[in-house]
Amino acid sequence: MSYPDGSPGWLITRHAEAKELLTHKSFSARQEGIISPVPTELQYDGRPADPGAFAKTDDPIHSQYRKLVTGFFTVRRTRQLAPMIERIVHEQLDDLEKAGPGADLVEVFTESVPSRVMCEMIGVPESERKTLQRHVETLGRLSCTVPEALAAVSGMSGFLSRFVPARMDDPRDDLLGDLIRGGQLNEQELMGMAATLITGAFDTTGNMLAMGVFTLLEHPDQLAKLREDPELMAGAVEELLRFLTISHLGASRWALEDVEFAGQAIKKGEVVTVALPAVNRDPERYNNPDQLDIGRTDHGHLALGHGVHQCLGQHLARTILRVGYEALFDRFPTLRLTVPGDEIPMRDDFVHYGPRSLPVTWDD
Amino acid sequence: MRITADREVCCSAGQCALIAPDLFDQSDEDGSVVLLEAQPDAGRLDTLREVVSRCPTGAIRIEEDPGA
Ligand code: SF4
């Protein structure tokens, strides 16, 4: 296929080939060579990623940075965060209760929970959260213009250049404090790392939380099953991740050399995009791929990527989703949409797919 | 059956600890894989195959007993 800037590119829609690409040594995730497969105002200008922004680098640089924070995101550590997450979820649900019956679930609940969790983990003051959220949102919008992006970037870096040095003088007992005390990162790198964590956590999980609620409300049989047997929750979260694949533009890599891949000759510099939603519904991999089945056991989806860049915060996201869905449907058993599902406005011009708003109501 | 886990290759994605918490854990420092049980009984083969296929970096290998 041809990419929006006219250069030739490739699209992967098969599950097996996607896994192979994302672990292939001849393909790079470095920001320098990535071209978006969909038109955007912003195209990378060949600049390398900022120091500490490890998602857009390759190994060994990538793993040097990533390893400094992976200890905070293990399965066990993120499970230990459940009480904090539960507190935040319930506080937001208190707000929801006060706001209704009848409220926008995105505004009161799904958007706030993950950003509050991440802010608490790295010690970002609550007063800054909404502004940062807007910046992250701007940068994730495909129609974002260059001046808008510059404003968002300078808003972010303006905040970070006040926040990080202040914390370096006075490290707290949190993730950022530990990184500072570890002494392996300089100020620039700490800023890049904080930006990566903020951008990685805010929009992604919020959209997934909202999309999952929307989807369950639209599949009442599945929701009823889940209510009957709460044990199904972990599997339901995986199935929602697969079914929804909110990173709908996929993951891209570029060839570091001429290489033959999946029977095609790919030239050095050409970009290959994994169409994650297609891959996660590959009929060669899944039975009835287009059906939401929370009882499905053969997940192995790629919604969170594959290879060394597989989502760092995935277990944190899983915990937020599990706690969030559980508490919401538990406290609001009569929750329902106030408009037909096809009238819900969607964020189809964003890197992460989700509803713009989710008008719901419930019986008092 | 023997399992090996390569900490150098591991990117700490924790699929192993998620799928089979009795066989794998992750270190507190850098989240890299910690093997809790190197020779689980053969009944765990399906779970282990799932772990191998889900590990994003191919850090985990199973050596099946010859003839088993
Ligand atoms: S699944 Fe693989 S990469 Fe992830 S922690 Fe386990 S061994 Fe490491």
- Chain B residues touching A70 at Cβ < 8 A: 11-12, 30-32
> Which residues on neighbouring strands pair with residue A141, listed in sequence order?
A350
Whether A319 and chain B come into contact, CB under 8 Å, resolves to no
Q: What pLDDT was estimated at residue A224?
A: 95
Nearest to A350 by CA among A159, A206, A194, A147: A206
Task: Enumerate residues 145 to 174 of chain A having a beta carbon within 8 A of any beta carbon in chain B.
Answer: none
- Asked if A13 and A279 touch (Cβ cutoff 8 Å), the reply is yes
- Encode pLDDT of A308-336 as tens digits: 888 888 999 999 999 999 999 999 999 99
CA distance B39 to A265: 42
Residue carrying structure tokens 């994994």: A274
pLDDT average, residue stretch A143-151? 89
- Chain B residues touching A67 at Cβ < 8 A: 12, 30-32
Q: What pLDDT was estimated at residue B29?
A: 84
CA distance A298 to A65: 32
- Chain B residues touching A276 at Cβ < 8 A: none
Q: Is the pLDDT score of A63 beyond 60?
A: yes
Q: Report strand pairing: B2-5 vs B60-63.
A: antiparallel
- For residue B39, how many other CB atoms are within 10 A of its CB? 9
**Distance (Å) from the C-alpha of residue A126 to the closest C-alpha of chain B?**
28
Domain B2-61, CATH 3.30.70.20 — does that match?
Answer: yes
pLDDT average, residue stretch A263-290? 93
- Encode pLDDT of A330-353 as tens digits: 999 999 999 999 999 998 888 888
Compute the half-sphere exposure of residue A69: CA atoms within 13 Å on the CB side of its CA.
Answer: 26
Binding site membership of B56 for ligand 1 (Cβ less than 6 Å)? yes
- Asked if B14 and B23 touch (Cβ cutoff 8 Å), the reply is no
Domain ranges of chain B: 2-61
Residue A59's H or E segment, with its range, is: none
Residue A139's H or E segment, with its range, is: helix A126-139
Q: Is the pLDDT score of A165 beyond 90?
A: yes
Q: Is the pLDDT score of A45 beyond 70?
A: no
CA distance A44 to A128: 28
Q: What pLDDT was estimated at residue A298?
A: 78
Residue carrying structure tokens 């319930």: A90
Inter-chain touch B56–A63, beta carbons under 8 Å: no
pLDDT average, residue stretch A217-228? 95
Q: CA-CA distances (angstroms) from residue A134 to A69, A117, A130, A194, A259?
A: 25, 16, 6, 16, 41
With a pLDDT cut of 70, the percent of chain A lying above it is 99
**Distance (Å) from the C-alpha of residue A215 to the closest C-alpha of chain B?**
25
Which among A68, A70, A315 is the nearest to B18, CB-wise? A315
Inter-chain touch A75–B56, beta carbons under 8 Å: no
Ligand 1 mutation pick, B16, B25, B34, B62, max ligand atoms within 8 A of CB: B16
Chain B residue closest in CA terms to A69: B30
Whether B62 and chain A come into contact, CB under 8 Å, resolves to no
**Distance (Å) from the C-alpha of residue B32 to the closest C-alpha of chain A?**
8
**Distance (Å) from the C-alpha of residue B55 to the closest C-alpha of chain A?**
8
- Encode pLDDT of A15-30 as tens digits: 999 999 999 999 999 9
- What is the four-CA torsion angle of A251, A48, A37, A266, rounded to 10 degrees? -80
Whether B6 and chain A come into contact, CB under 8 Å, resolves to no
- Chain A residues touching B58 at Cβ < 8 A: 23
- Encode pLDDT of A94-136 as tens digits: 999 999 899 999 999 999 999 999 999 999 999 999 999 999 9
Inter-chain touch A74–B31, beta carbons under 8 Å: yes
Residue carrying structure tokens 């904080």: A194
Per-residue buried b or exposed e for A193-225, using 16+ beta carbons within 10 Å of the residue's own CB: bbbbbbbbbbbbbbbbbbbbbbbbbebeebbee
Q: Residue with the nearest Cα to atom 2 of ligand 1? A: B55
Chain B residue closest in CA terms to A77: B28
pLDDT average, residue stretch B43-64? 90
- Encode pLDDT of B4-20 as tens digits: 999 988 888 899 999 99
Say which range, A51-65, A182-196, A242-256, has the weakest mean pLDDT: A51-65
CA distance A220 to A213: 11
Quickly state the pLDDT bin for B68 (edges 50, 70, 90).
very low
Q: Is cis: bond before A101, omega within 30 of 0?
A: yes
Q: What pLDDT was estimated at residue A338?
A: 96
- Chain B residues touching A300 at Cβ < 8 A: 50, 53-54
Which among B11, B26, B32 is the nearest to A76, CB-wise? B26
Q: What pLDDT was estimated at residue A108?
A: 93
Chain B residue closest in CA terms to A308: B11
State chain A's mean pLDDT as an integer.
91
- What would the two tokens of residue A314 be? 């995935």
Which among A66, A76, A77 is the nearest to B11, CB-wise? A66
Q: Is the pLDDT score of A215 beyond 70?
A: yes
